[in-house]
Structure 1
Amino acid sequence: MPLNVFFTVDVEIWPEGWDRLDERFPGAFRRYIYGPTGRGDYGLPMTLQILNDHGLRGAFFIEALFALRFGIQPLTEIVGLIQGAGHEVHLHLHPEWVDKLEQPLFPKRRGHLMRSFSLDEQSRLIQWGLSHLRAAGAPQVKAFRAGGYGFNAETLQALAANGVAMDTSYNPCVRGETSGIEKGGKLWQAVQVEGVYEYPVSAFEDWPGHFRPAQLAAASYGELTKALVAAEQSGWESFVMVSHGFELLDRTRTRPDPIVVQRFRRLCRFLERHRDLYPTQGFLELAPRIFPGEPQPIQSNVAYTVFRVLEQASRRVLA
């Protein structure tokens, strides 16, 4: 069986400070959504273009709570960019926005993670996010990811109550152990919890006993492709990769990051050449199923990891 690859992108807007928010937001929107540089737009437009150049499908998780303060138009613009390029839109929530509104959604600050809120509050946050995405032109939303991977079992209950069938908030490297849904060890493949299918972010062992997520900006090309091969050979059914709309930019968000751009292009060429083994998938037409058996963790190659350490050091020097 081929290994279904989900190339997921979290789309977020982060102002340079929470004060003077109305003044800062337009610049933050341009920077995190379009990523203008002297060589073109390296935010969402470049990510979409590279995926399309290789005939690949992406699933984009859009943070929607900012629209409660800044209205539906910016959100509609983001949805239009993604759907106009032929890719899927799903829901992403960063509750940091909850108390940054003219009138806070809840009378008492709860925290910046979904799991900081009660079941009823999480359900209301999801309702607001879904309603704004629908108003922005995305009527079909079937998957969710919590900001900072900060979810719990009540998040899944709230998703089920709102008709969202799939979640990909579980990251075995980030808050996985504290999510409350691990049962006897880390999750590597799809499981059903609280009526929702959980598709874990994929990870690989880079050093003995240490795991690293399959994230574009966090792993080398060699590590990512070795992990894909290992997952397919181990009988995995799904492989969830993570990126962000701004990951092709350097840390200043003003220039392309040449190492990550090259890594992304090489990865897309690999997936295009081997689409028979690693087809890219979305969630809209997915028939979710629980992985049968006990999936085993996968390993990368130490040489690839050493190369990544050197590569990441170069990125810091170049930024």
Structure 2
Amino acid sequence: MPKPNVFITIDTEHSIGGAFADPALKPVGNDKRIYGRINGQEYGIPLIMDIADRYGIPLTFFVEVLNKYYFGEEETREVCEYILGRGHDVQLHLHPNFLNFKDSDTAARQYRDNMSAYDLDAQKALITEGKELLTRYCGRAPTAFRAGNYGADANTLKALKSNGIFMDSSYNAAFPKHSRRLHAEALNDAAEIDGVWELPITNFTENIPLRGERLKPLDLNGVSLAEMKAVIHQALDDRGPRNLTLILHSFSFLKARDVQYRECSVRKYVIERFEGLCRTLAELGDRVRCRSFSDLAAEGMEPVGEGAAQVFPRISAGLSVLRGIEQQYGEVSAR
């Protein structure tokens, strides 16, 4: 039985910072949204890498590049060089809402944020531009893509293929309104779609009394360490996906009290959760393969078998209830 692959991915992006609603406000850049600098400390990607490095875990950073229309190119070039300099992976992420800063009237919001809002030709052009930018910043072309808001559709995969990008990680079954535009069937493991490999965000099924069943993605800010460990162990027992893709954001360790990030507090419980995840993966040793997307070549992907991509691990109600208590306590302590 092949070992499960584990991909820890970080969406690395700036914020509009309320500028569309109030032109007096400005987008929030590297300092708070990516490096997470508050009170003389860094709680963004430097701390994420510090923790992962302690346990030898490779990370993939999906870096947004269309912010150049407000920040210019040096802001993101610096981020890419920093990530690569520390030995981690950089892949392509797009939030087309930054295109609105091409015009003087940003409040008109001529450009939408989801890739699915654009036709095939427009998506090809957006991905071409993003690929060219990231290639300049990194000295190599990206091999994988993630759409902002998981807002991709079937045309996104066609646009990626035409740009020579053969891996995507935009599908998240917990967001069916978006993801079913990409693929009609529920996906939870690697699947080849029209010549592009889709590696979806991993979900599990929770069933809390009175609430019923729902899917929960392995987003570090929304699920507990116990739930993540349960999903990993089901994969080890061949009862879960063979490719586990987890997500966090460059700002996951911070709780912003306003859209401008003027006041932030630290989500210590999320930091502890991430440390626990990395420690767990290190303790599993060679039972799992912790990988970055740059480790993969599209032609080297392994099919998971018919029907296997639709497997969703089930988590006990007790774990989910405990997570809710942990989450509520953690948010209160971060205020």
TM-score under structure 1 length normalisation: 0.92
Residue 115 of structure 1 corresponds to 116
Instruction: Note if 1:300 corresponds to 2:315.
Output: yes
Residue 231 of structure 1 corresponds to 235
Residue 279 of structure 1, CA deviation: 2.0
Equivalences for 1:258-297 in 2 at 5 Å? 258-286=268-296, 287-295=300-308, 296-297=311-312
Residue 211 of structure 1 corresponds to 215
Residue 35 of structure 2 corresponds to 34
Is the 8 Å Cα contact of residues 11 and 60 (structure 1) preserved in structure 2?
Answer: yes
- Compare 286-295 and 190-199 and name the one that shifted more: 286-295
Local SS of the residue matching 2:290: coil
Structure 1 residue runs of 4 or more that deviate by more than 6 Å after TM superposition:
20-23
CA shift in 2, pair 1:309/1:67, >3 Å = same
Local SS of the residue matching 2:289: coil
CA shift in 2, pair 1:14/1:291, >3 Å = same
Distance 2:245 2:30 in 1: 27
- Compare 30-39 and 77-86 and name the one that shifted more: 30-39
Deviations 1:29-55 (A, max 9, x none): 210011112361001110011111110
Is the 8 Å Cα contact of residues 241 and 312 (structure 2) preserved in structure 1?
Answer: no
- Compare 70-79 and 274-283 and name the one that shifted more: 274-283
Distance 1:315 1:120 in 2: 45
Local SS of the residue matching 2:181: coil
Is the 8 Å Cα contact of residues 168 and 199 (structure 2) preserved in structure 1?
Answer: yes
Deviations 1:184-203 (A, max 9, x none): x4111111112210011100
Is the 8 Å Cα contact of residues 55 and 272 (structure 1) preserved in structure 2?
Answer: yes
Residue 134 of structure 1, CA deviation: 1.3
Residue 168 of structure 2 corresponds to 167
Instruction: Note if 1:244 corresponds to 2:244.
Output: no
Deviations 1:257-302 (A, max 9, x none): 1110110111110011113122211122312233212122211222
Letter of the structure 2 residue corresponding to residue 212 of structure 1: K
Is the 8 Å Cα contact of residues 58 and 292 (structure 2) preserved in structure 1?
Answer: yes
Equivalences for 1:95-174 in 2 at 5 Å? 95-102=96-103, 109-174=110-175
Residue 168 of structure 1, CA deviation: 0.5
Distance 1:103 1:157 in 2: 32
Residue 128 of structure 1, CA deviation: 1.1
Residue 67 of structure 1, CA deviation: 1.4
Letter of the structure 1 residue corresponding to residue 252 of structure 2: E
Residue 22 of structure 1, CA deviation: 9.6
- Compare 268-277 and 212-221 and name the one that shifted more: 268-277
Q: How many percent identity over aligned positions?
A: 29
- Compare 142-151 and 68-77 and name the one that shifted more: 68-77
- Compare 52-61 and 285-294 and name the one that shifted more: 285-294
- Compare 285-294 and 46-55 and name the one that shifted more: 285-294
Local SS of the residue matching 1:290: coil
Local SS of the residue matching 1:276: helix
CA shift in 2, pair 1:165/1:224, >3 Å = same
Is the 8 Å Cα contact of residues 226 and 301 (structure 1) preserved in structure 2?
Answer: no
Distance 1:260 1:243 in 2: 10
Instruction: Note if 1:77 corresponds to 2:92.
Output: no
Unmatched 5+ stretches in structure 2: none
Local SS of the residue matching 2:228: helix
TM-score under structure 2 length normalisation: 0.88
Residue 314 of structure 1, CA deviation: 1.3
Letter of the structure 2 residue corresponding to residue 243 of structure 1: L
Deviations 1:223-242 (A, max 9, x none): 01101111222263200001
Is the 8 Å Cα contact of residues 89 and 141 (structure 1) preserved in structure 2?
Answer: yes
Residue 93 of structure 1, CA deviation: 0.5
Is the 8 Å Cα contact of residues 89 and 138 (structure 1) preserved in structure 2?
Answer: no
Is the 8 Å Cα contact of residues 9 and 248 (structure 2) preserved in structure 1?
Answer: yes
Residue 199 of structure 1 corresponds to 199
Deviations 1:106-144 (A, max 9, x none): x99352200000101111111111111111124131000
Distance 1:204 1:278 in 2: 19
Equivalent residues, number: 316
Distance 2:145 2:24 in 1: 28
